[in-house]
């Protein structure tokens, strides 16, 4: 796997683009749902006033709100832990894990918004089977070409992302491997403590 520039992290969550490639998409298609989200993301990124350093937090908050509406963090969290581990948790523990996992993803990826430099997204195809779909895209710039595929499931007549595959690597599987090692070495409590530690601000 070739090295992927750090700024692609935001593209993993929001697939930020300066110009959307025209796609013939059905009104209820997963592709159309993704494009709806991208349009809103683009409005925020193109807002010159929000680029001011003192408004960085507000800008990130707006992006997170948009992304949160398209991503099913509960489903993503369940798949990241794996069915066996997920079923051992009560509702309170599941909610705690999903909350920490969502914040961890946001800190890991969405915080790199300032590195966006006009990458474009090409929509390649949509595959659908029952209530599941995969939207295949490619992020392109003068020096970069990275395939990013979004896996979605249908929820109440809309589409929600539950996994992202970047350059052939599944985000869910990648984190599942990391979290499984921590759980085996330290238990579920150890994983929760690890996530909390990564979310704490650095010492002054």
Note the pLDDT tens digit of each residue in 15-39. 433 333 333 334 469 999 998 887 7
d(CA 6, CA 188) in angstroms, rounded, equals 29
Res. 1: pLDDT tops 70: no
Confidence of residue 174 (pLDDT cuts 50, 70, 90): very high
Q: Considering only 16-20, 35-39, 43-47, 189-193, which range has the smallest mean pLDDT?
A: 16-20
Burial level of 65, CB count in 10 A (0-12/13-18/19+)? exposed
Q: Considering only 9-18, 76-85, 127-136, 186-195, which range has the smallest mean pLDDT?
A: 9-18
Q: Considering only 38-52, 138-152, 165-179, which range has the smallest mean pLDDT?
A: 38-52
More confident residue, 2 or 68: 68
pLDDT, residue 60, reads 86
The residue behind tokens 């990458």 is 119
Residue 85 near residue 183 (C-beta atoms within 8 A): yes
Res. 202: pLDDT tops 80: no
**For the chain, what percent of residues have pLDDT higher than 90?**
48
d(CA 91, CA 103) in angstroms, rounded, equals 18
**3-state percent helix, strand, coil for the chain, nearest multiple of 5:** 55, 20, 25
Closest to 18 measured CA to CA, from 120, 115, 139 = 120
pLDDT, residue 144, reads 82
d(CA 82, CA 84) in angstroms, rounded, equals 6
Closest to 51 measured CA to CA, from 63, 34, 40 = 63
Res. 183: pLDDT tops 50: yes
Q: Considering only 14-23, 41-50, 74-83, 135-144, which range has the smallest mean pLDDT?
A: 14-23
- Count CB neighbours of 96 within 10 A: 15
Q: What is the pLDDT of residues 89-132, one digit of tens each?
A: 999 999 999 999 999 988 877 656 666 667 777 889 999 998 99
């Amino acid at each position: 796997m070739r090295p992927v520039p750090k700024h692609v992290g935001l593209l993993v969550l929001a697939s930020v683009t300066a110009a959307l490639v025209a796609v013939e998409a059905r009104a209820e298609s997963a592709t159309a749902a993704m494009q709806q989200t991208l349009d809103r993301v683009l409005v925020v990124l193109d807002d010159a006033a929000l680029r001011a350093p003192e408004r960085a937090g507000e800008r990130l908050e707006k992006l997170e709100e948009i992304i949160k509406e398209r991503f099913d963090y509960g489903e993503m969290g369940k798949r990241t832990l794996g069915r066996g581990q997920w079923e051992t948790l009560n509702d309170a523990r599941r909610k705690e894990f999903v909350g920490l996992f969502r914040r961890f993803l946001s800190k890991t990826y969405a915080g790199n918004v300032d590195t966006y430099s006009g990458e474009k997204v090409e929509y390649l195809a949509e595959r659908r089977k029952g209530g599941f779909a995969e939207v295949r895209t490619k992020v392109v710039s003068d020096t970069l070409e990275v395939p990013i595929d979004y896996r979605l499931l249908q929820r109440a007549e809309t589409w929600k992302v539950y996994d992202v595959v970047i350059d052939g690597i599944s985000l869910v599987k990648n984190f599942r491997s990391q979290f499984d090692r921590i759980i085996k070495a330290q238990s579920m409590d150890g994983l929760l403590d690890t996530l909390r530690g990564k979310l704490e601000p650095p010492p002054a």
